[in-house]
Amino acid sequence: MTDAAGKRSKAYSGHRFLALIAIPTMIAATVLCLTAFAALHWAATTVDRAAAGRQKALMSVVVDNLRSSIAHDQESVTVWDDAVLATRNPPYPTWIDANLGTWMHTYFGHDGAYVLDSTDVPVFAYEHGSLAPLQTYAHIRSSTSRLAAKLRARLAAGDTEGISDTNLSLGESDFAFDEGRPAIISVKPIISDTGTIPQTPGTEYLHVAVRFLDGSFLSELSGKYLFEELAFSPVVMAKPGWESYPIHNAEGRPIGNFVWRPDSPGTELLDRILLPTAAGILALLAALIVALSSMHRRAVFERQAADRIRYLAFHDALTELPNRHAFERRIQEVLAAQPKHGAVLYIDLDHFNVINDSLGHAMGDIVVHAVSERIAAVCGDDVYRTGGDEFMVIVPGRTTQAAVETARAIIAALVPPVIIGDVHAFVGASIGIASFAEAPANGFELFRKADVALYQAKTMGRGGVAVYDQTLDAEIRGTAAIERDLRSALARPGEIEVHYQPVYDAKTRKAVAVEALARWRHPRHGLIPPSEFIPIAESTGLIRDIGLVVLEAACSAAVRWDISLLAVNVSAVQLRDPGFAAQVADVLQCVGLPPEKLEIEITETAWLSPGGFGEASLAALRATGVAIALDDFGTGFSSLGRLSETAFDRIEIDQHFVKKALQSPRDAAVVRTIIDLARAHGSKTTAEGVETAEAADFLTRIGCDDLQGYWFSKPLPFAEIDAMLRPQTVDAG
Ligand code: C2E
Ligand code: CA
Ligand code: CA
């Protein structure tokens, strides 16, 4: 992937993520937090307000009770025969002081107490915890006389309203100022509790109780009802967070206000939970941010991975070139424009597997990379890597001739070796060309035709360039038909037959060996020679199965014959199979043929094959005692010197050489040299294609060990060779 593409995808997904997920989530989280706080605050103030309301209602009850409770205090001493007697003529000051003054002060906290006679003249005064001169009553008279008059009027009228088991006598009370201080003043008649001391209603002595609102009373009140910082204020408390309860006297005159700091359970709770809640929410937000950013990173990562996967779907990871899918897409686009000229080039590296095998895959990769750069340097952009060592190039707008020139330029560019350290890797390429005119609308067909041309180019040897033509295609299609038939032949036993050609000892002229040769009895085409199907079987891998059929048939036949050797041809494809030697050993053991009686023939071209000829298999076979022969020697143009590279038990001189040897003394000398060289390496020699007596004699003369050819015998079907080679003893048996 290019850097630009990477950045683009990162920026794109980051932006989208911010816009669609991160910012909305953060906004939602913040709104949620603010709403939660607002709700908490609202709940707290509502709770506070309800609490304050309750306290205010409580205060109203408290204030109401105040007057009746003082009256009640008074009743404990004023509804009492003793009190009536003690206050009347003559008054008994010590008793009065003890019971109506000091008692009321110490027990109930009353601040002042006075006793008035039937004409409202004070007969007793008590203030601030001690007896007071009677004239002190003067300062309270104005507030008291109204209450006293009202009470006497009610008493005189025989009013009994409010009298009950708990309210024993009538009474009047009101808020008032005394000596400038707010106070409750309560007036009660002093009456007989037994009813035995008659008094004229309205003339009863009266008991006046005074209780200041701003004194000890306040602490008593706040202690009892839990009003915080309760105070009495002449003015309404305007400060926020304070409550006031106004007090008026019976005439509606303001006396002052109880003020206190109301309970605020909501705010208190809020204060207590605010810090931990805020910390929790902050932690939550932090976790949210962490989660979002990790989601973001993951999203970016996934986007990049997806981009990479998409990229890899159309590109080759090693060379970064577009791949076969990209080619298929592109060629359809190019062809859709119906171009007049143009072609595709199918490039295949020559013997690249040799480089891979000898230098290793890492080096192979470096070479492929270097090659891809060289091809791109010649052709520009439209290069595709379509396989391990295959490339396609699209050259639009060019004539076939121009395409051929491009192909040659590519081959020229690949001539200099790829230098990796001190290794010089030589790679060549073969190129097949198919012009757009061959398949104007079908990219796949064009590809196939370029493949046909490549096949042709390959047969021309290294560095070949071929342009597709129809006759060539038909030939290859024929090949495809053979392959198809060959597959079904393998499924039907007997279609692959084995013929046997005897090999003769040059000196004794006795048959000492046979060579197994495959034949295909085609249901329609009759007997097909190996030259027509073996190469196809090799290129498709079917040779492995055919080879096994031949080997099994030949070995089980050979145990019947009185010969020292059975020769079986195997191809390099079979030898490269790591299990081949074991397979041979299995067959030998199965049919009971000693390994020393088997000779495996490998052709010189297979031996020289760049992909290797299966050295390991050969070594394993030799180890079990199987002999190895080099077949068709002289066709592969290998130097005689190479003979020392591999140990062969036998060298088979190719029939063309044998024939030429008789015609020219120079070729005769070559054959002689081969025989000498073989002998020097400890190998025996067989001359093939001996068709005349002269040839047989000549070869015998120059030291060839064994002879094979039509002059002795053609390859024979099993029945004939069996009749020829079966030992007499067996026959007799
Ligand atoms: P080859 O191994 O060189 O076998 C000898 C070929 O020369 C045989 O051809 C044989 O019929 C032919 N021949 C023998 N003497 C003469 C002669 O005097 N004059 C002429 N003109 N030809 C002679 P064939 O049977 O057609 O086999 C062709 C090749 O096919 C064989 O060459 C061998 O390389 C290959 N082949 C045959 N059978 C098998 C097989 O089972 N496996 C493999 N891998 N290759 C096989
Ligand atoms: Ca042979
Ligand atoms: Ca041969």
Q: Is residue 229 one of the residues assigned to a domain?
A: no
Specify whether 390 is located in the same domain as 417. yes
Is residue 530 in contact with ligand 1, taking CB distance under 6 Å? Answer: yes
- Which residues are in the CB-under-5-Å shell of ion ligand 3? 631-632, 688
- pLDDT of 637 reads 57
Cβ proximity of 260 and 231 under 8 Å: yes
For the chain, residues with pLDDT lower than 50 are 1-11, 730-733
Half-sphere exposure of residue 199: CA atoms within 13 angstroms, side-chain side: 26
Boundary of a domain, candidates 180, 212, 244: 212
Helix, strand or coil for residue 475?
helix
* Phi, psi of 111, deg, nearest 5: -90, -25
**Ligand having the closest approach to the CA of 544:** 1
Specify whether 392 is located in the same domain as 429. yes
Alpha helices in 570-635 (DSSP H): 572-576, 580-591, 604-607, 615-624
What is the domain-level CATH number for residue 349?
3.30.70.270
Q: Which two tokens stand for residue 510?
A: 């006795």
- Alpha carbons 627 and 503: distance in angstroms, whole number: 15
Q: Is residue 635 one of the residues assigned to a domain?
A: yes
Q: Is residue 416 one of the residues assigned to a domain?
A: yes
User: What Cα–Cα distance (Å) separates residue 533 from each residue in 484, 540, 541, 599?
Assistant: 11, 11, 12, 23
Q: Is residue 162 one of the residues assigned to a domain?
A: yes
**Ligand having the closest approach to the CA of 527:** 1
- Alpha carbons 669 and 239: distance in angstroms, whole number: 135
Specify whether 462 is located in the same domain as 379. yes
- pLDDT of 3 reads 41
Specify whether 298 is located in the same domain as 420. no
- Alpha carbons 507 and 502: distance in angstroms, whole number: 15
Counting the structural domains of the chain, the total is 4
* Phi, psi of 65, deg, nearest 5: -65, -25
Specify whether 93 is located in the same domain as 44. no
Element (H, E) at 322: none
What is the domain-level CATH number for residue 683?
3.20.20.450
Q: Is residue 326 one of the residues assigned to a domain?
A: yes
What is the CA(533)–ligand 1 centre distance, in A? Answer: 12
Specify whether 51 is located in the same domain as 110. no
What is the CA(631)–ligand 2 centre distance, in A? Answer: 5
Is residue 93 in contact with ligand 1, taking CB distance under 6 Å? Answer: no
Q: Is residue 252 one of the residues assigned to a domain?
A: no
What is the domain-level CATH number for residue 149?
3.30.450
Is residue 534 in contact with ligand 1, taking CB distance under 6 Å? Answer: yes
* Rg value, the chain, Cα: 64
Closest ligand 1 atom to residue 654 Cα is 3
What is the CA(515)–ligand 2 centre distance, in A? Answer: 7
Closest ligand 1 atom to residue 691 Cα is 18
346 beta partners: 392, 432
- Alpha carbons 410 and 404: distance in angstroms, whole number: 10
Specify whether 700 is located in the same domain as 589. yes
Q: Is residue 64 one of the residues assigned to a domain?
A: no
Specify whether 462 is located in the same domain as 525. no
Specify whether 461 is located in the same domain as 550. no
Cβ proximity of 84 and 190 under 8 Å: yes
Beta-carbon contacts of residue 322 (< 8 Å; ≥ 6 apart): 314, 315, 316, 330, 383, 384, 385
Buried b (16+ CB within 10 A) or exposed e, 140-154: beebbebbbeebbeb
Q: How many CB atoms are located within 10 Å of the residue 57 CB?
A: 10
**Structural domain of 453:** 314-468
Specify whether 102 is located in the same domain as 144. yes
- pLDDT of 384 reads 96
- Alpha carbons 708 and 691: distance in angstroms, whole number: 9
Specify whether 318 is located in the same domain as 279. no
Specify whether 633 is located in the same domain as 583. yes
- Alpha carbons 541 and 532: distance in angstroms, whole number: 15
**Pocket test residue of 688, 710, 718, 721 for ligand 1, highest count of atoms within 8 A of CB:** 688
**Pocket test residue of 517, 662, 690, 716 for ligand 1, highest count of atoms within 8 A of CB:** 517
- pLDDT of 171 reads 94
Q: Is residue 394 one of the residues assigned to a domain?
A: yes
Helix, strand or coil for residue 551?
helix
How many residues are listed for the chain in this entry? 733
